[in-house]
Amino acid sequence: MKYTAVNFVSTDIQDWQKDLLIAELADIGFDTFEDAENGFSGYIPSSNLDLQALETLLLGKVVDYHLDYTVADIKEENWNALWESNFNPIIVDGMCYVRATFHESKPEYNYEIIIDPKMSFGTGHHQTTSMMLSYILENEFKDKKVLDMGCGTGILAIFASKKDANTVLAVDYDDICVESVKENSELNNIENIEAMLGSKEVIADKKFNTILANINRNILLDQLSTYAACLEQKGELYISGFYEIEDLPILKAACANNDLTFVSHKTLDKWCAAKFVKE
């Protein structure tokens, strides 16, 4: 798959403004981001790039942040070198070690997850993924039927399986992600994850004990009623991909309207993850 890089440069943009811009870029198809001096780069499948939508999104921001940007195609063979150069192992809560195939194994950790991103989102480095991993680490998954919605690399599905989930369904609208889940499941010697291409329509007739959804606020709001219908009684919903101050109150209200009771939330650099239970 051919990718395009959009390189954003600004001497005035604040961290919270950059985070909001990245979230908005994700809404129009950008799936990978890389920090750079005085800005960052966003990556999108070339076939998904809508320059008019990009320019509309940036309208005003160019003036507010003194933002400049350039667009460049990336040769496919350079993609792996790009993420390998920026992929360092991470450790979640001192117990879960996330690494790539080219990093050494560390069996002293309770859990080890091997991830090969291959152009799909979810290596554990983003704050939202890290918080979701932390929630999985803290909670019970043994013998449960689990859904990982918007699965990306399948990192959350893989961890749920390692926490002894009975079955795991990983769903994403991007076929690259579906293939990535299959490959990463093999890397982790996991056989109980099914990867499906699609969105909320593919889960409408299914039931789960636990749903994991690390997406963004707008998609979560659109899909919450489906999650509620798919959850067994006393089932648990874990969500992330949004901000604590701006988004959590809106999502809590929407969940309450769907008989989903708020339990707790985590924050990391203004990003938020939250747990709900179906009453």
Check whether 129 is labelled as a binding-site residue.
yes
Answer yes or no: do 150 and 188 share one domain. yes
Which domain, by its residues, includes 67? 3-82
Check whether 214 is labelled as a binding-site residue.
yes
Answer yes or no: do 164 and 41 share one domain. no
Question: Left (φ > 0), alpha (ψ -120 to 50) or beta: where does 123 sit?
Answer: alpha
User: 31, 61, 82 — which closes off a domain?
Assistant: 82
Distance between CA 112 and CA 187 in Å, rounded? 11
Q: Say how many domains are in the chain.
A: 2
Check whether 150 is labelled as a binding-site residue.
yes
Check whether 88 is labelled as a binding-site residue.
no
Q: What is the pLDDT of residue 140?
A: 96
Look at residues 256, 253, 220 and name the one whose alpha carbon lies nearest to residue 238: 220
CB 239 within 8 A of CB 262: no
User: In CATH, what number is assigned to the domain containing residue 133?
Assistant: 3.40.50.150
User: 45, 63, 82 — which closes off a domain?
Assistant: 82
User: 67, 82, 97 — which closes off a domain?
Assistant: 82
Distance between CA 14 and CA 18 in Å, rounded? 6
The helix or strand, by DSSP H or E, that contains position 172, with its residue range, turns out to be strand 167-172
Whole-model pTM: value is 0.76
Answer yes or no: do 109 and 41 share one domain. no
Look at residues 143, 263, 272 and name the one whose alpha carbon lies nearest to residue 217: 272
Which pairing describes strands 193-197 and 167-172: parallel, antiparallel, or unpaired? parallel
Q: What is the pLDDT of residue 249?
A: 96
Q: What is the pLDDT of residue 154?
A: 93
User: In CATH, what number is assigned to the domain containing residue 40?
Assistant: 3.30.70.260
* Residue stretches of the chain with pLDDT short of 50: 120
